[in-house]
Amino acid sequence: MKVLSVVGARPQFVKLAPVAEAFAATEHQHVIVHTGQHYDKNMSDVFFADLRIPAPDVHLGVGSGSHGVQTGSMLSAMDAVLDEHKPDWVLVYGDTNSTLAGTLSAVKMHLPVAHLEAGLRSFNRRMPEEHNRVLTDHAADILLAPTQVAMDHLANEGLSDRARLVGDVMTDVCFRVRDAVTDDSFTLPEGLKRGEYVVSTIHRAENTDDPARLAAIVDGLAAAGAPVLLLAHPRLVAKCAEHGIKLERPDGSLHVREPLAYPEMVAAVLGSAGVVTDSGGLQKEAFLLGRVCTTLRTETEWVETLEDGWNVLTSDVSKLPELAARPVPAANRPMPYGDGQAAGRVVAALAE
């Protein structure tokens, strides 16, 4: 069997890692296509290096652009790649523009498509990721769902016969890295103490594209009550620069750093008192690593994290002082995201 994985953005490299490892342990051929959606070294290359992912076989070098331009550039480059490799499966991951482009090109060329992380829904049609998920699920031939909730969403849309519950590959990689890192895997910036700081990432259009909202979020983080380690996504940095919003605060309330490599991120979360984010992946990583999370959104695809208050949704940054570093819930954490063996099931489902 020959499987061609299409990836392009940071969360997809994380999901690719356990899948590539599972393929490497078999006779199957695995071709990796990087669209180039994320191109900064710390948004892309470090993930391949640290998570020991083989270098991409093909790099489309597409880069940034409006949704149409970015997705269209990927689409126009994919035909030749699929024509050359003629895979048995095109495997797409998650919900980015790279996911949608990989799916559309494969469908048009009558190649079977498998969607990893199928069935997630925010039910917020203004999110680009929601269009990407829905369109991909309805176009794909096999839907590899991470959770029962995702299976239920697929059933509600009449897609049960294509759906398989495989578990969450992010659990595979998160637990593997958690077991390998030590306290020294991440050097804390001066002024931060283990167990007393909050890790934060902000990148979603709904939080970054309106200058008033963005300024309120940055001020809200600086007033969170615990010092915040803000791992600044390029979109956040670019939008703050465009609108004259200052990120660094001389009082030490906000420590701004570039995005971290995956093992450093896991170590930073393990050393923290909590996470404040609008990222889907980080919400779940906080949960898997047993840290409280405050999600600056009105909805989440990972609803299981909300049970018992491990994750709390709010758009109101004035609530951060009470939420950001709140105590961990007393109840035992449920384990709805699989057993850390999902990638093997992905390979088996495709081979079958």
Tokens 């839907």, residue?
A: 143
Task: Quote the Cα angle for 103-126-296, to 5°.
Answer: 110
In the complex, minimum distance from the CB of residue 26 to ligand UD1, in angstroms, rounded to a whole number: 29
234 exposed, middle or buried (CB, 10 Å; 0-12, 13-18, 19+)?
middle
Q: How far is the CB of 201 from ligand UD1 (least distance, A)?
A: 9
| Shortest Å distance, C-beta 258 to ligand UD1 | 11
Dihedral over Cα of 154, 155, 160, 165: its sign = positive
The CA dihedral of 121, 122, 127, 128, to the nearest 10 degrees, is: -10
Q: By C-beta, is 226 or 229 nearer to ligand UD1?
A: 229
Write down the least CB distance from residue 204 to ligand UD1, Å.
7
- Which residue's CB is nearer to ligand UD1, number 279 or number 294? 279
| CB 151 to ligand UD1: min, Å | 22
- Residue closer to ligand UD1 by CB (options 120, 254) is 120
Q: Are strands 274-277 and 2-7 parallel, antiparallel or unpaired?
A: unpaired
> Nearest 5°: CA angle at 251, between 247 and 256?
35
Active site residue 203: yes
Query: How many C-beta atoms surround the C-beta of residue 316 within 10 A?
Result: 10
CA dihedral 11, 344, 348, 282 (to 10 degrees): -20
Closer by beta carbon to ligand UD1, 96 or else 272: 96
Q: How far is the CB of 184 from ligand UD1 (least distance, A)?
A: 27
Toward ligand UD1, which CB reaches closer, 178 or 235?
A: 235
The footprint of ligand UD1 (CB under 6 A) covers 9-11, 37-40, 43, 64, 95-97, 128-129, 203, 233-235, 238
Out of 30, 38, 115, 203, pick the active-site residue: 203
Residue 131 vs 176, nearer CB to ligand UD1: 131
Q: Which residue has the tokens 């991440």?
A: 186
SS3 category, 333: coil
C-alpha to C-alpha distance for 46 and 264, rounded to whole angstroms = 11
Buried b (16+ CB within 10 A) or exposed e, 25-34: eeebebbbbb
Q: Which of 116, 87, 24, 98 is nearest to 59 (CA)?
A: 98
The catalytic site residues sit at 203
